Amino acid sequence: GDSVTQMEGPVTLSEEAFLTINCTYTATGYPSLFWYVQYPGEGLQLLLKATKADDKGSNKGFEATYRKETTSFHLEKGSVQVSDSAVYFCALSPTDSWGKLQFGAGTQVVVTP
Amino acid sequence: EAGVTQFPSHSVIEKGQTVTLRCDPISGHDNLYWYRRVMGKEIKFLLHFVKESKQDESGMPNNRFLAERTGGTYSTLKVQPAELEDSGVYFCASSQARHRSSYNSPLHFGNGTRLTVT
């Protein structure tokens, strides 16, 4: 079945550092890919998405490119802030089951001043 | 607009007791989903309602879990009797449309209910 694997955390880095969170997936067909973020005490928020190969999703300085050849959707941000401290979830939506998301385990990111 | 609201935010119960979680989706959203995150693991799909009908309940772990959405508005998820392994965070999400082309209508998640079974 479909699955998502993302790097384990926690990831601790200093403000203004470069952030990469790796995410790879296994799926049949052409899934849509997402990054969700959960800030402390809040629910999941959609950070960015990509619906087809080579699409680049971007939001709040974060980017991720849908790479079908490597089945990856790595999240990157060039200069993180303390306010980016959160748990980040990579997820896919199967071709025929929009809304039935398959999530990765989540990666906690801690940004220190 | 108001977001997805879940009640309670936290619940601590003893093994064998019953707990009912509630989700109020965004007004007008026909699709409602329940998900669960067991400690440190991935968030897992439980079930999907379209209005008042269960569209997909393939993720429900066992018959101790009962979800309802009477009238197609709010939904409840009852766990009876609760077991230790039911502890986790239960998320509800809603969306306006289901079609692939409607990717501008992503899932909107609530803050979750943290359930602890002791």
The residues pairing with A58 across neighbouring beta strands, listed in sequence order, are: A63
Of A43, A100, A104, nearest to B48 by CB-CB distance is A100
- Express each pLDDT in B18-75 by its tens digit: 999 999 999 989 999 999 999 878 899 999 999 999 999 999 999 999 999 988 899 9
Query: Does the beta carbon of A49 lie under 8 angstroms from any beta carbon of chain B?
Result: yes
Q: Label the pairing between strands B31-37 and B43-50.
A: antiparallel
> For chain B, give me the number of helices (H) and strands (E)?
0, 11
Of B4, B44, B95, nearest to A99 by CB-CB distance is B95
pLDDT exceeds 90 at position A61 = yes
CA B79 and chain centroid, separation: 12
CB pairs under 8 A between A and B: 61
The reply to whether residue A43 touches residue B3, judged by beta carbons under 8 angstroms, is yes
